[in-house]
Amino acid sequence: MSKTGSSGTDERRVYGVLAPVLTPFHADLSPDAGRLARFCRWLLAHGCSALAPFGTTSEANSLSVDEREKLLDAIREDGVPAERLLVGTGACSLTDAVRLTAQAVRHGCAGVLMLPPFYYKAVSEDGFFRFFAEVIERVGDARLKIYLYHFPPVAHVGFSRKLVERLLRAYPRTVAGMKDSSGDFANTKTMLDAFAQDGFDVFVGSERFLLAGMRGGGAGCISATANVNAGAIDRLYRAWRSPEAEALQAEVDAVRGAVEKVPLIPGLKAIVAHHAADPGWLNLRPPLVDLPPEQRAALLADVAALKLALPDLRG
């Protein structure tokens, strides 16, 4: 499973900059599949090497399993390529996780990005191992590639080094990598040092750590702000060995800093709504709510000052 094996980098694996794609909603809060497919295509044409729909930024856990299934079917039918999708399929319920993961495999998606079951908190390593083992056995398909989504600040549960090791030992052809959204690069470094050489692809969860991640043997980043700044983040990804890398890192950090001044998901939707001249993008499902007008205005002013390269989305 090494990505530096006889054939070099595994052609079917995804690398680089991935956006956990924002989910647009109609006014009645039903998901808007057509607008989502257009946005996916736009992201793939403007810096994203692949996409991670149904992540935290996608409000995926605010959707039902039926809604998630229908949306994936719809964007695939609308031409979004399966080989460029890491689909979020983690769920608290084993049966939900199996159903969503099996669907992604049926579509031929590059992989799935799985949160651990996140309701119970005092869960043993054995319990998490058994959850993933059940999903893998029940899906029962050699094409399945699982990326572990480590996000303790929100999920309050996550993947220890020992758990990753145990999963890799049991399912070396299935467990393909990780998104580390711990916000703690020391944790990312631990995972890189322990597993990257064996082809375990570690993506940083914020472009703030992209340069450090690449220097440590990482595979790229899967970051919320790639929804609005994928072009610049991709330039950094491609140039990480160059003398300009530090300057490019500072550039993407400045955009991240501006967006992080406000709640991230409503902030990103406000930026897309503005650049797409489409207020429908402001819709969020509760419990998330849109920004107060003055906060939105301040964010858009900050972003304008940074000359964010987000072209017209209307096309």
Where does this chain bind a second copy (CB under 8 A)?
Answer: 29, 56, 61-67, 92-96, 99, 116-124, 126-128, 130-131, 134, 153-156, 263, 285-289
Residue 176 CB, shortest distance to a second copy, in Å, is: 21
Contacts of 273 (CB under 8 A, 6+ apart): 279, 280, 281, 282
Residue 249 CB, shortest distance to a second copy, in Å, is: 26
95 vs 242, beta carbon nearer a second copy: 95
239 vs 288, beta carbon nearer a second copy: 288
139 vs 233, beta carbon nearer a second copy: 139
97 vs 308, beta carbon nearer a second copy: 97
Residue 14 and residue 11: Cα distance in Å, rounded? Answer: 8
Residue 164 CB, shortest distance to a second copy, in Å, is: 16
Residue 91 CB, shortest distance to a second copy, in Å, is: 8
Residue located via tokens 């595994």:
10
Residue 300 CB, shortest distance to a second copy, in Å, is: 21
Contacts of 106 (CB under 8 A, 6+ apart): none
Residue 113 CB, shortest distance to a second copy, in Å, is: 15
288 vs 298, beta carbon nearer a second copy: 288
Q: Look up residue 31 and give its DSSP letter.
A: B
Backbone angles phi, psi at 112, to 5 degrees: -125, 150
**Long-range Cβ pairs for the range 213-217 (8 Å, 24+):** 213/185, 213/188, 214/240, 215/240, 216/188, 216/189, 216/192, 217/192
Chain Cα centroid distance, residue 133: 22
Residue 4 and residue 306: Cα distance in Å, rounded? Answer: 38
Residue located via tokens 């080989």:
83
Chain Cα centroid distance, residue 303: 22
166 vs 235, beta carbon nearer a second copy: 166
Q: Are 27 and 280 in contact (CB under 8 A)?
A: yes
132 vs 200, beta carbon nearer a second copy: 132
Q: Are 57 and 21 in contact (CB under 8 A)?
A: yes
Give the residue from 233, 278, 238, 305 showing the smallest Cα distance to 46: 233
Q: Are 157 and 118 in contact (CB under 8 A)?
A: yes
39 vs 131, beta carbon nearer a second copy: 131
Residue 123 CB, shortest distance to a second copy, in Å, is: 4
Residue 296 CB, shortest distance to a second copy, in Å, is: 15
